[in-house]
Amino acid sequence: MEQICDVCFRHCRLSEGMTGACKARRCEDGKVAIANYGKITSLALDPIEKKPLNRFYPGSMILSVGSYGCNLKCPFCQNVEISLADGRPECEAEYVPPEVIAQIAVKHKERGNIGVAFTYNEPLVGYEFVVDTARLVKEAGMKNVLVTNGCFTRSVFDSVIPYIDAMNIDLKCFTESYYRDTLKGDLDTVKEFITLAAGSCHVELTTLIIPDENDSDEEMEALSGWIAELEKQTGKQIPLHISRFFPMSRYAGRRPTRVESVRHLADLAGRKLKFVYMGNI
């Protein structure tokens, strides 16, 4: 009998033994269960600005933790080895329980660490591990950061938000067709997630500019205009990071985004938003 996964917009229908599109959730014993719990592929102490978060404890460090799996299929993915892996040996995942992650975070306080960032792959495909770890980090008096694509259900958001202090959320474009056809995602789901997050914690957004795909003036004006309206609704300023694309993954043969294009789009966004940052230039 098929089971429906309710973690993201895909609502994968899984028979016994099947793995979802995210590669991180599997049907076992008639239930959809997390398959990547505690399976860590990346662990590093990073500057907070690399998340990127420019207006949340600037100048501090944060322990970045990643597993494997992602519910989108971005053709330009920078971490495709882990985002689309499914626990195969080449993924090189090592089990590290929440208690150990929290202990490592506390240990690195002396190096300027303020907490833990769940990042590298899409952390919310394994949201149970995020909740268990973030709770311990919070109890230790430290901060939790989530770096996510935001393509998740309200129930997942409600599960994690009590423990999250800041998020960087990808707003990859502002057209439903690009989200649906190229990224295999859903723009409305992302917009709802961003709206909920902006009312609950510190939020910064990131848009990667892909030449000839999401780099028009019209799209940036619509995107920044929507953020500006959200700022009015929440009474909070929401920084936008506009980043330069470099050829990666299935887009390896493409040309990088021109620096001039990033600057131009940042200028457009800056007409409506106070905090606009350029990345990868």
What band does 161 get if pLDDT is binned at 50, 70 and 90? very high
Q: What is the pLDDT of residue 192?
A: 98
27 belongs to a structural domain: no
158 belongs to a structural domain: yes
Coil vs helix vs strand at 35: coil
Place of tokens 């299929």: 73
What band does 91 get if pLDDT is binned at 50, 70 and 90? low
> Residue 256: which residues within 8 A CB-CB, separation 6 or more?
211, 244, 245, 246, 247
The average pLDDT across 104-118 equals 98
Q: What is the pLDDT of residue 86?
A: 59
Q: Is the pLDDT of residue 157 over 90?
A: yes
24 belongs to a structural domain: no
List the structure tokens of 140.
């230790």
* % residues pLDDT > 90 (the chain): 93
Domain around 222: 36-279
pTM confidence score: 0.96
CATH at 85: 3.20.20.70
Q: What is the pLDDT of residue 92?
A: 78
Tens digit of each residue's pLDDT (9 = 90 or more) over 166-216: 999 999 999 999 999 999 999 999 999 999 999 999 999 999 999 999 999
7 belongs to a structural domain: no
Q: CA separation (Å) from 118 to 127, 180, 191, 201, 259? A: 10, 25, 20, 15, 29
The average pLDDT across 95-113 equals 98
67 belongs to a structural domain: yes
31 belongs to a structural domain: no
52 belongs to a structural domain: yes
Asked whether the beta carbons of 245 and 209 are under 8 A apart, the reply is yes
5 belongs to a structural domain: no
Q: What is the pLDDT of residue 176?
A: 97
Number of folded domains that form the chain: 1
What's at 204, amino acid-wise? E
Q: Is the pLDDT of residue 85 over 80?
A: no
How far is residue 107's CA from residue 120's CA, in Å, rounded to a whole number?
Answer: 22
What band does 79 get if pLDDT is binned at 50, 70 and 90? confident
